[in-house]
Structure 1
Amino acid sequence: MVMTIVRADYANAGHGRDLLALLDVYARDPMGGGEPLALAVRSVLLKGLAAHPTAFSLIAYDDGAPVGLANCFFGYSTFAARPLVNIHDVVVDPAHRSKGIARALFAQIEAIAAEAGACKVTLEVLSGNHRARALYQSLGYGDYALDDEHGNALFWQKRLAA
């Protein structure tokens, strides 16, 4: 296995094809909703990412084949007055899991975050995704709480009409 990780160029046709293919793998997985990536999303995603000034994506290749993806966004911590990085999507092709690909993606994300002076890297994970949770915990990620007496932070959402 000869693994390389590249920062995706959203205007590069090969990177775009590989990003969309890997994101579709994630979307079809039960942990990604179990449905193919919508055609409407596929048609605008790369342009949307390219237009979003804080977005960056990493693609892992094994002997030239795309096997892993991380889509990330810079944010800002008001309490630390420093940037942060949120990992929005992480996927490793099921045929290539347990080969260190996710660990390598995380190492690259953390290097980019450190270079930018970020105070932390954040992510969301489903409570039932035991495999991912074990990996993230082994990398030092965990629940977020300002004060144990008031409990852990929860990730909530409200969908808005298109």
Structure 2
Amino acid sequence: MTQTSARTRILVRPVDYGDPSDAAALVELLDGYAQDMAGGGEPLAVGVKQGLAQALHQRPQAFSVMAWAQDQPSARGAEIPVGLINCFEGFSTFACKPLVNVHDVVVVPAWRGQRIAQRMLQEVAVMARSRGACKLTLEVLSGNLSAIRSYEREGFAAYMLDPQMGSAQFFQKYLD
């Protein structure tokens, strides 16, 4: 199954890190994303694959949602994972409230263009509001124009306090 038909529906729900099928689907989707050029072009390390779900499960500030394609009527076992978003709660000192960083957005290539990311982002927003979050944040590569358009359709915009100071940039520093 590679596209939505009249009989196919997309279900979006939170990931249960302790459920073996959810954990396996999370790793499968994230590994596929990591191998994509937008994700760095390299597979996840074996240790990451083995420990990721448990590590996320141990962090109360982490949550994920997954999109599943399902032929109707069908049991949960017949669902195919087609999208994933991993999120982490942070804190806005200016608002004195939690914020949620959308860390990974994955849609299986054969399922792109069907607004699956938007549906997952809508679920993330619901979950973020339930945590009292004041905003969602995310990073996107400047060359990933289709993702940028997708995020803009959902109301995301470049972070700016004062136009004279410009937009925020994302930096990183690896620690040994």
TM-score normalised according to structure 2 size: 0.89
User: Cα deviations across residues 105-162 of structure 1 (Å, max 9, x unaligned)?
Assistant: 010011111222211000000000011001111111111111111111111110011x
Deviation at 1:40, TM superposition (A): 1.7
How many residues align structurally? 161
Residue of structure 1 in register with 2:119 after alignment: 104
Greater CA radius of gyration, 1 or 2?
2
User: Cα deviations across residues 8-60 of structure 1 (Å, max 9, x unaligned)?
Assistant: 11111000000000001100110000111111211211111011110001111
Alignment of 1:6-155 (within 5 A): 6-63=13-70, 64-155=79-170
Residue of structure 1 in register with 2:171 after alignment: 156
**Identical positions, percent:** 47
| CA root-mean-square deviation | 0.9
TM-score normalised according to structure 1 size: 0.96
**SS of corresponding position for 1:9:** coil
For residues 154 and 16 of structure 2, the distance between their equivalents in structure 1, rounded to whole angstroms, comes to: 27
For residues 133 and 152 of structure 1, the distance between their equivalents in structure 2, rounded to whole angstroms, comes to: 15
- After TM superposition, where is structure 1 displaced by more than 6 Å over at least 4 residues in a row? none
Quick check: 2:13–2:123 contact (8 Å CA) kept in 1? no
**SS of corresponding position for 1:2:** strand
Structure 2: which 5+ residue stretches go unaligned?
1-7, 71-78
